[in-house]
Structure 1
Amino acid sequence: MKQLLILITCLIVCTGLFAQDEAPAPAEKKKLIVATKDAPPFAFKDPSGEWTGITIEMWDAIAKKLGYDYELTEDSLEGVLRSVSSGKADIGAAAISVTAERAQIMDFTHTYYGSALGIATSYQRTDIWSQLFSRLFTWNFLKALFALIVVLLIAGALVWVFERKRNPEHFGGKPMHGLGAAFWWSAVTMTTVGYGDKAPATPAGRVVGLVWMFTSIIIISGMTGAIATALTVGSLTPRVKGPQDLHKVEVGTIQSSVADGYLKSIGVNPTYYNSVQEGLQAVDDEAIGAFVNDHAIIGYWAGKDFAGDVDVLRDTFEPSYLALAMPLDSEHQREIDLALLEFIQTPAWDAILAKYRAAQ
Structure 2
Amino acid sequence: MGGAPIRILALLVGLLAVIAGAAAAPAQTQPPSTTVSEELAIGIKAAPPFAFKLEDGSWSGLSVDLWKRIAERLGLGYRFEEVPNVQDQIAGIASGRFDAATAAISVTADREKAIDFTQPFYAAGLGIAVPLNREPSWRPILHALTSFGFLQAILALICISLVVGMLIWLFERRHNEDFGGGAAKGLFNSLWWSTIAATQASTGELSPRTVPGRALAVLWMVGSIIAIAVFTAGVTSVLTVKQMEGLVQSESDLASVKVGALANSSTDAYLAGTHIRHSGYPSVQAGLDALRSGQIDAFVYDRPLLSWLIGKDYSSSLRVLDVSFERQNYAIALPKGSPLREPLDLALLQILESDWWDQATFQYLNEK
Q: Shorter-chain TM-score: which interval?
A: 0.5 to 0.7
2:86 maps to 1:105: no
Question: Contact conserved, 2:48 with 2:305, CA < 8 A, in 1?
Answer: yes
Task: Give me the whole-angstrom Cα distance separating, in 2, the residues matched to 1:338 and 1:18.
Answer: 33
2:291 maps to 1:283: yes
In the TM superposition, what is the alpha-carbon distance from 1:248 to its structure 2 partner? Answer: 2.2
Determine helix, strand or coil for the equivalent of 1:118.
Answer: strand
Label 1:271 to 1:231 Cα distance change in 2 as closer, same or farther (>3 A). Answer: closer
Letter in 2 for 1:126: P
Task: Give me the whole-angstrom Cα distance separating, in 2, the residues matched to 1:338 and 1:74.
Answer: 26
Divergent runs of 4+, >3 A: 1-23, 123-128, 229-236
In the TM superposition, what is the alpha-carbon distance from 1:48 to its structure 2 partner? Answer: 2.9
**Aligned equivalent of 1:90:** 99
2:248 maps to 1:240: yes
Letter in 1 for 2:62: I
Letter in 2 for 1:79: D
2:122 maps to 1:122: no
Query: Residue deviations 1:253-312, cap 9 Å, x none?
Result: 122322111100121343222322222122111122111110011011111111131111
Task: Give me the whole-angstrom Cα distance separating, in 2, the residues matched to 1:114 and 1:126.
Answer: 37
**Aligned equivalent of 2:328:** 320
Label 1:69 to 1:231 Cα distance change in 2 as closer, same or farther (>3 A). Answer: same
Task: Give me the whole-angstrom Cα distance separating, in 2, the residues matched to 1:315 and 1:33.
Answer: 37
2:342 maps to 1:334: yes
**Aligned equivalent of 2:48:** 40
Query: Bigger shift: 275-284 or 231-240?
Result: 231-240
Identical amino acids, percent of aligned pairs? 33
2:279 to 265, 271, 274: 271
Letter in 2 for 1:83: G
- Aligned residue pair count: 266
**Aligned equivalent of 2:168:** none
**Aligned equivalent of 2:175:** none
Determine helix, strand or coil for the equivalent of 1:356.
Answer: helix
**Aligned equivalent of 1:81:** 90
Question: Contact conserved, 2:93 with 2:115, CA < 8 A, in 1?
Answer: yes
In the TM superposition, what is the alpha-carbon distance from 1:12 to its structure 2 partner? Answer: 4.9
**Aligned equivalent of 1:257:** 265
Task: Give me the whole-angstrom Cα distance separating, in 2, the residues matched to 1:358 and 1:112.
Answer: 16
In the TM superposition, what is the alpha-carbon distance from 1:252 to its structure 2 partner? Answer: 1.6
Label 1:11 to 1:39 Cα distance change in 2 as closer, same or farther (>3 A). Answer: closer
Task: Give me the whole-angstrom Cα distance separating, in 2, the residues matched to 1:68 and 1:52.
Answer: 18
Determine helix, strand or coil for the equivalent of 1:287.
Answer: coil
Runs (5+) with no aligned partner, structure 1: 140-228
Runs (5+) with no aligned partner, structure 2: 154-236
Label 1:60 to 1:231 Cα distance change in 2 as closer, same or farther (>3 A). Answer: same
Question: Contact conserved, 1:259 with 1:293, CA < 8 A, in 2?
Answer: yes
**Aligned equivalent of 2:224:** none
Letter in 2 for 1:92: A
Question: Contact conserved, 1:122 with 1:239, CA < 8 A, in 2?
Answer: no
In the TM superposition, what is the alpha-carbon distance from 1:63 to its structure 2 partner? Answer: 1.2
Query: Bigger shift: 49-58 or 230-239?
Result: 230-239
Letter in 2 for 1:116: G
Letter in 1 for 2:128: I
In the TM superposition, what is the alpha-carbon distance from 1:11 to its structure 2 partner? Answer: 4.6
Determine helix, strand or coil for the equivalent of 1:104.
Answer: helix
Question: Contact conserved, 1:121 with 1:240, CA < 8 A, in 2?
Answer: yes
**Aligned equivalent of 1:31:** 39
Task: Give me the whole-angstrom Cα distance separating, in 2, the residues matched to 1:113 and 1:323.
Answer: 7
Query: Bigger shift: 118-127 or 310-319?
Result: 118-127
In the TM superposition, what is the alpha-carbon distance from 1:49 to its structure 2 partner? Answer: 2.7
In the superposition, the TM-score normalised over structure 2's length comes to 0.63
Query: Residue deviations 1:108-161, cap 9 Å, x none?
Result: 100111110011111434369x97xx99xx99xxxxxxxxxxxxxxxxxxxxxx
Label 1:8 to 1:88 Cα distance change in 2 as closer, same or farther (>3 A). Answer: closer
Determine helix, strand or coil for the equivalent of 1:236.
Answer: helix
In angstroms, what is the RMSD of aligned CA positions? 3.5
**Aligned equivalent of 1:143:** none
